[in-house]
């Protein structure tokens, strides 16, 4: 068994970037060396995390980072996508915390020494708790605090970083965090989601200005996630339901960035659900990005519903990952092709794609053939989108290693490397071996 793509695929070229991805809160631990963040608070709230766990130790990457970078280098990847813990690098007064900054500079220097491009995400959901205490993303001021952090940290990192992304998945921060409450800070209310989303997007625009000023030679942009929406039947009302869900969950986050306006749906939102948009905000939000990061895992199927307008049907009789997410690679191609036709996209990087699977450690090995299939099918899906004209330049597997999967705790394993949380021993899974072989062979075949 191996992972392969057609010989003529541009994804076989050494110019195509392959990487692995992680996020600070999910792997670092070392919580006593930084300010508290909203995920610390959320984890300590009864009933929020499936296995009652937290991020205090996680993969202990805070101590094991050198070993982890050796592991990344051994895979032969071109790039590593990591996120910066905002509460590790700032003090409460907004000044930089030198010790925290140095932690990342050491990582970036080692990556550069090993010729691994650093793709840095500035916000992967770990808002400093003291900022949440002032209203978090419901407070417009947070967008300016984020830009200030982006300004300072990009100056401190300088040319060590190949690519900066402002936000990771503002949909998750806004909707999961402030509307349905399954992520930190756990607020629930239809009136919150789109207000938080607007401040996040404003924060993106303001931070991008700082990045373009301080590190214009870096590739600067944003990472968005998409769960394409499909109708359950060909009935018109189901098609409309899927379309509406798509406007709320997907287009809401990309359209302001690409087109400088929200979907028309905004005109139908009740007053109390409306974001607070100031003159000039949308110009700031729609400034040109050097790249767009796209995260894809699964699709969603909707039917019409009298009360809620659209209702998500759970998948039946289809292959699922351990998250219960349908495995449907065709939606990945269709998503990429459709975004490319709706918008004038900058170069696209697939910044996350992968699967949680019920891994079994047997004789010190994990034969995760299901995950290998997932990668193979989704790499094919990306290739199909390229063939149909989408400009895609890179692909990052989520994730380098098993880690803290948010509300699911440590029960769901997304890694291509297995982590034994007792001993912190890392074991390369079969998917990791084959992903690495695939990346390496591409460089030797003519």
State how far the Cα of 154 lies from the Cα of 163, in Å rounded to an integer: 11
**Segment holding 19, helix H or strand E:** strand 17-21
Q: Known catalytic residue: 70?
A: no
State how far the Cα of 417 lies from the Cα of 398, in Å rounded to an integer: 11
168 is in an annotated binding site: yes
Q: Which of residues 57-76 bind ligand GCO (CB under 6 A)?
A: none
State how far the Cα of 373 lies from the Cα of 434, in Å rounded to an integer: 11
Q: Using the rule CB under 6 A, which residue among 80, 405, 415, 431 binds ligand GCO?
A: 405
Contact map string, positions 224 to 263, toward ligand GCO, x by CB under 6 A = -x--------------------------------------
Residues 200, 167: contact at Cβ < 8 Å?
Answer: yes
325 is in an annotated binding site: no
Residues 227, 249: contact at Cβ < 8 Å?
Answer: yes
Residues 348, 294: contact at Cβ < 8 Å?
Answer: yes
Residue 326 found at the interface with ligand GCO (CB under 6 A): no
Q: Determine the distance from the C-alpha atom of residue 316 to the mean position of all C-alpha atoms in its chain, rounded to a whole number.
A: 27
State whether the Cα torsion 129-226-382-391 is positive or negative.
negative
Catalytic residue among 169, 179, 326, 334: 169
Closer to ligand GCO at the Cβ: 84 or 282? 84
Question: Closest distance between ligand GCO and the C-beta of residue 441, in Å?
Answer: 27
Closer to ligand GCO at the Cβ: 124 or 442? 124
Catalytic residue among 132, 326, 334, 352: 352
Q: Known catalytic residue: 352?
A: yes
Q: Using the rule CB under 6 A, which residue among 157, 164, 175, 414 binds ligand GCO?
A: 414
Q: Using the rule CB under 6 A, which residue among 295, 298, 321, 353 binds ligand GCO?
A: 295
Residue 398 found at the interface with ligand GCO (CB under 6 A): yes
Residue 375 found at the interface with ligand GCO (CB under 6 A): no
Residue 168 found at the interface with ligand GCO (CB under 6 A): yes
Exposure of 68 by Cβ count < 10 A (0-12 exposed, 13-18 middle, 19+ buried)?
buried
> Helices (DSSP H) in 114-235: which residue ranges?
129-132, 141-157, 170-171, 177-178, 190-214
Residue 321 found at the interface with ligand GCO (CB under 6 A): no
Which residues, 6 or more positions from 373, have their beta carbon under 8 angstroms from its beta carbon? none
Q: Using the rule CB under 6 A, which residue among 352, 359, 368, 402 binds ligand GCO?
A: 352
Question: Closest distance between ligand GCO and the C-beta of residue 341, in Å?
Answer: 24
Catalytic residue positions, numbered: 169, 352
- Which residues are part of a known binding site for substrate? 26, 124, 168, 297, 398, 405-406
């Amino acid at each position: 068994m191996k992972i392969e793509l057609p010989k003529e695929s541009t994804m076989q070229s050494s110019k195509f970037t392959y990487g692995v991805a992680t996020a600070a809160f999910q792997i670092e631990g070392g919580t006593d060396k930084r300010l508290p963040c909203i995920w610390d608070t959320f984890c300590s709230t009864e009933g929020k995390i499936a296995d009652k766990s937290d991020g205090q130790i996680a993969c202990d990457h805070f101590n094991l980072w050198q070993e982890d970078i050796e592991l990344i280098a051994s895979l032969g990847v071109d790039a590593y996508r990591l996120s910066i813990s905002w509460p590790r690098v700032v003090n409460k007064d907004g000044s930089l915390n030198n010790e925290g900054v140095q932690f990342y500079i050491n990582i970036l220097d080692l990556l550069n020494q090993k010729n691994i491009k650093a793709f840095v995400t500035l916000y992967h959901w770990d808002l400093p708790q003291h900022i949440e205490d002032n209203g978090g993303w419901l407070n417009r001021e947070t967008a300016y605090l984020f830009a200030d952090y982006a300004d300072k940290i990009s100056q401190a990192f300088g040319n060590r970083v190949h690519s900066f992304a402002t936000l990771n998945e503002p949909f998750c921060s806004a909707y999961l965090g402030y509307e349905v409450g399954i992520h930190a800070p756990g607020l629930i209310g239809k009136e919150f989601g789109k207000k938080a989303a607007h401040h996040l997007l404003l924060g993106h625009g303001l931070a991008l200005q700082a990045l373009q000023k301080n590190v214009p030679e870096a590739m600067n942009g944003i990472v968005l996630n998409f769960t394409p929406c499909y109708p359950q039947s060909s009935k018109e009302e189901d098609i409309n339901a899927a379309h509406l869900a798509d406007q709320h969950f997907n287009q809401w986050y990309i359209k302001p960035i690409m087109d400088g306006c929200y979907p028309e749906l905004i005109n139908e939102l009740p007053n109390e659900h409306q974001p607070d948009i100031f003159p000039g905000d949308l110009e700031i939000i729609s400034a040109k990005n050097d790249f767009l990061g796209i995260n894809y895992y699964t699709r969603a199927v909707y039917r019409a519903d009298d009360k809620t307008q659209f209702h998500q049907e759970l998948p039946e009789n289809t292959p699922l990952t351990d998250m219960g997410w349908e495995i449907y690679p065709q939606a990945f191609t269709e998503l990429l092709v459709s975004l490319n036709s709706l918008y004038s996209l900058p170069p696209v990087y697939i910044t996350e794609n992968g699967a949680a699977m019920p891994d079994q450690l047997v004789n010190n090995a994990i034969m995760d053939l299901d995950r290998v299939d997932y990668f193979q099918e989704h790499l094919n899906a990306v290739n199909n989108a390229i063939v149909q004209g989408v400009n895609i330049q890179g692909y990052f597997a989520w994730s380098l290693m098993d880690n803290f999967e948010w509300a699911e705790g440590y029960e769901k394993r997304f890694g291509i490397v297995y982590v034994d949380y007792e001993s912190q021993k890392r074991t390369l899974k079969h998917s990791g071996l084959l992903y690495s072989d695939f990346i390496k062979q591409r460089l030797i075949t003519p």
